[in-house]
Amino acid sequence: MVIRNMVREMAMPIEIIGHETERAADGLALSSRNGYLSEAERQEAVQLSLALKALIAQHASHPDQLAALEAKAVEQLNARGWQTDYLTLRRRSDLQAPTAQDSAGSLVALGASRLGKTRLIDNLEC
């Protein structure tokens, strides 16, 4: 979204072609950062994408409780030994907090958290 807006605002003759995040069989987003993880950390790393999936599911049932759901998701991941920067749900179009009018398919769950010395990031469109 940020790159698309920058290209549009600067009237750059560039076509942005988005692609789904490549994932390992267990759901971990593939990244060169994964190489910094120990074997035990690699097994734990999938918890970031699972936390985002849980946030999406909980928001579907309780859309009026987003802040509390985000805080709970951070607390649960941190209880596993992570140091979380954010777990949040936002509109894909402008990364603002969703409103009641936003429909399924227009949101993205975003997360960034440190596991050991490695900062992992992930996002899931929903």
CA distances from 22 to 18, 25, 34, 113 (A): 12, 10, 13, 19
Query: Which tokens sit at 62?
Result: 């309780």
Sketch the domain layout of the chain as residue ranges: 2-125
| Rounded percentage of the chain residues whose pLDDT exceeds 70 | 100
Q: What does the alpha-carbon distance between residue 101 and residue 29 come to, in Å, rounded to a whole number? A: 30
Each residue of 89-116: pLDDT tens digit? 999 989 999 988 887 789 999 999 999 9
19 φ, ψ (degrees, to nearest 5): -150, 145
The CATH number that domain 2-125 falls under is 3.30.1300.10
Each residue of 70-93: pLDDT tens digit? 999 999 999 999 999 999 999 998
Instruction: List the one residue out of 21, 34, 122, 39 whose CA is nearest residue 77.
Output: 122
The angle at the Cα of 37, spanning 36 to 40, to the nearest 5 degrees, equals 160
